Homo-oligomer: A and B are copies of this chain.
């Protein structure tokens, strides 16, 4: 079966996010004074062929740990979806 993995990768709250700060500043400048605490990260979608959902999730977590996120400065959130 084929599953879709949706992965969000964000900097940890304790790590300064200069890209987010820049976007917040830009939003405030163009008239959105009510935009606050902007954080920017990566979003990945990929397809995984696996016999079942649990295996797909385990594999996706391994992909995150081995390549897709940096545990020192980032956190990730994983969602497995049927397709």
Contact = CB atoms under 8 A, between A and B. Distances in A.
B8 A32 contact: no
Contacts of A24: 46
Give the contact-size bracket for chain A: 20 to 34
Give how many copies assemble into the complex. Answer: 2
A66 B30 contact: yes
A50 interface: yes
A24 B35 CA distance: 35
**Which DSSP category, helix, strand, loop or mixed, fits chain A's interface?**
strand
B34 A50 contact: yes
A48 to B, nearest CB: 6
B36 A46 contact: yes
Given A59-B34, A67-B30, A10 B46 contact: no
A36 B49 contact: yes
Contacts of A63: 27, 32, 35
